Amino acid sequence: MEKLEGTIPIVRRIAIITLVGFLVVILAGPMLTIAGILLPFAVVGLLVWIPFRGIMLWKQGGTSAVAQAAKKGVGHVFAVPAWILGRVFGGAKWILTTAFGLVGFVLGLILPTLLGAFGGAILGIIGGMEHHDAAFRVPAGVLIGAAIGLLAGAWRSKPSRTVVVVRHVPEGLHRA
């Protein structure tokens, strides 16, 4: 079974990567400015809120309530950065997978393009010797052959990535 993979998904990935890069460059300055303005106020508010919350919990439930809230708070403190890192690494994995796929696609075009150019050059030499205009036919043959090789490489069939697993179930284990 073959799966035809065209150039549209690759062009779409290039467009998405370009858009993300553009947005990062454009929005990095304002986002860092806003973070630089709001972060000191958030830190001061947190430094006031933590003792206040601890005192209120101590009055309501004693040291066990404060210990339980501290344990839950520490869990949240570590859970948020872990979630953010998971998202960042997931995005980085997607970008690297896309980039390596694009590099593999481009490297897969080199051989068909070179072979097409070589074949076009040979045909240009043959036609140029026959008609005594090799100075025109050889470069034209190289260009046409390279274009045909490039198109053939871009449109060739790719092997299917779908794996079908067939399992044999013994007779006595069938469900009714």
Per-residue pLDDT tens digits for 152-175: 988 876 666 777 788 777 777 666
* Predicted local confidence at residue 14, as pLDDT: 87
DSSP string, 79-125: HHHHHHHHHHHHHHHHHHHHHHHHHHHHHHHHHHHHHHHHHHHHHHH
**Predicted local confidence at residue 62, as pLDDT:** 81
**Range 56-72 average pLDDT:** 81
Q: 176 by DSSP, 3-state: which?
A: coil
DSSP 173: G
* Residues in the chain, overall count: 176
- Has residue 43 got a pLDDT over 80? yes
Confidence band for 55, pLDDT divided at 50, 70 and 90: confident
Closest CA to 95 of 25, 16, 175, 2: 16
What angle separates helix 8-131 from helix 134-155, to the nearest 10 degrees? 150
Amino acid at 11: V
Matching residue, tokens 């830190």: 43
State the Cα–Cα distance between residues 13 and 8, nearest whole angstrom: 9
CA 13/CA 21 separation, integer angstroms: 12
